[in-house]
Amino acid sequence: MTTAADIMHRGAQWIPAHETLDRAAQLMRELNVGALPISDENERLCGILTDRDIVVGCVAVGHDPAKVTAGEMAQGTPRWIDAGADVGQVLREMQDHRIRRLPVIEDKRLVGMISEADLARHLPEEQLATWAESVYSMSAPSPH
């Protein structure tokens, strides 16, 4: 059985909710990623911040990214998957919630992220096409 841990990329890092968006952008650049899970003061997942969130939700509306925190940008119920979940569960979670990035948690700790690139590397082409169609359908809300 292929699990979330088998397909995720390791080395994911939290951005604490109290950190500003300019720091989040710097961390994204350092890690070469487009999204960071947001943690509360107890290192629990409270959202995901994307580079698009910073641009569209802060900069484009005239806010200063040095004064807006990651926590202020966190919206909705954060989604995640257990490291031991099988790949079918991963796909269902991402399809059901129309999300493109999924934090992987093991023993209440962030151990990795699953992104579109990870799916592309590990899934058969037909399965990947089905996933993409459901996540990118026209009726879908803007996914992370």
What does the pLDDT look like over 123-135, one tens digit per residue?
Answer: 888 888 888 888 8
What 3-state class would DSSP assign to 137?
Answer: coil
pLDDT greater than 80 at residue 138: no
Ranges of each domain in the chain: 4-135
Q: How high is the mean pLDDT of the chain?
A: 89
Q: In what order do the strands lie in the sheet with 81-82?
A: 9-10, 109-115, 101-106, 81-82
pLDDT-derived band of residue 144, with 50, 70 and 90 as boundaries?
low
- The pLDDT assigned to 57 comes to 93
Look up residue 58 and give its amino acid: C
Closest CA to 103 of 82, 118, 125: 82
Look up residue 104 and give its amino acid: V
- The pLDDT assigned to 134 comes to 81
Q: What sign has the CA pseudo-torsion 24, 6, 94, 109?
A: negative
Q: Please identify, in words, the CATH class of the domain defined by 4-135.
A: alpha beta
- How far apart CA 65 and CA 81 sit, in angstroms, is 30
Q: For residue range 15-39, what is the model confidence (pLDDT) as tens digits?
A: 999 999 999 999 999 998 889 999 9
pLDDT-derived band of residue 53, with 50, 70 and 90 as boundaries?
very high
The model's pTM is 0.82
